[in-house]
Amino acid sequence: MRVKGEFGGGVRIGELSRRTGVSVRLLRYYEEQDLLRPERRPSGYREYGESDVDTVLHIRNLLAAGLSTTTIADVLPCMGTDGGRLIADCPELLLDLDRERERISGAIRELERARTTLDTVIATATPETRRAADDLVTPDAH
């Protein structure tokens, strides 16, 4: 289903950008990555439908969840919606999402180890070193 935009049968890229808050450049990138498939008018202009607004918002959510555009291109066709919520519609999708979740969990564990190491090193600072560091940040505070 195509939605009427300001130029006729569908929504042009500028309107999609306005409605989603995603830059035109990034929308073109999503198309290059095969995440969006707009229709082309005889003039060459891209034409998007109402469902593309939701698709862009889902892409943003999946990117924020840590998935790459390559993974999103694989899983997006197997995702449905329940209201505004994404749902898994294919068993293969669950396998991909489980792998991504484990990858993200591993990255979190590595970051937590790095933070613990930094905390240990920071804790060795003498009070004088701490004051000197604080003075570097706010030199006029004393």
Comparing 78 with 102, which gets the higher pLDDT?
A: 102
pLDDT band at 8 (very low <50, low <70, confident <90, very high): low
Class of domain 1-89: mainly alpha
Q: Is 110 left (phi over 0), alpha (psi -120 to 50) or beta?
A: alpha
- Per-residue model confidence (pLDDT) at position 142: 52
CB 8 within 8 A of CB 1: no
Going through 1-142 in order, the beta strands assigned E by DSSP cover: 39-40, 46-47, 79-82, 85-88
Segment 101-107 shows an average pLDDT of 92
Segment 112-128 shows an average pLDDT of 96
- Per-residue model confidence (pLDDT) at position 123: 95
Using CA atoms, how far apart are residues 110 and 34, in angstroms rounded to an integer? Answer: 32
**Range name among 48-52, 77-81, 93-97, 114-118 with the lowest pLDDT average:** 77-81
Segment 1-22 shows an average pLDDT of 73
Question: What mean pLDDT, rounded, does the chain reach?
Answer: 86
The ranges assigned to domains in the chain are: 1-89, 93-142
- Per-residue model confidence (pLDDT) at position 84: 67
Among 90, 107, 20, 2, residue whose Cα is nearest residue 59: 20
- Per-residue model confidence (pLDDT) at position 4: 41
* pLDDT tens figures, 20-72: 999 999 999 999 999 999 998 888 888 999 889 989 999 998 999 888 899 89
Q: Is the pLDDT of residue 5 over 60?
A: no
SS3 of residue 4 by DSSP: coil
Q: Is the pLDDT of residue 10 over 50?
A: yes
